[in-house]
Amino acid sequence: MGFADKAKEVIGDVTNDDELKAEGTKDQSKSSIKDAGENVKDAFKK
């Protein structure tokens, strides 16, 4: 999870900007999926 993604979510929450909060949450999800893919790839290298 990237710091910028979490920051977007928190700033959106504090400022009641639902669009910014949703964008931060979405970006964090993409990051988590990418990390999972990298972990699977690393597992097959061993």
Please write the tens of the pLDDT for every residue from 1-46: 578 888 889 999 999 999 999 998 988 888 888 888 888 888 888 7
Q: What is the pLDDT of residue 17?
A: 93
Q: What is the pLDDT of residue 6?
A: 87
Q: What is the 3-state secondary structure (H, E, C) of 7-22?
A: HHHHHHHHCCCHHHHH
**pTM for the model:** 0.61
Q: What is the pLDDT of residue 22?
A: 92
b/e map 15-43, b = 16+ CB within 10 Å: eeeeebbeebeebbeeeeeeeeeeeeeee
Q: What is the pLDDT of residue 1?
A: 56
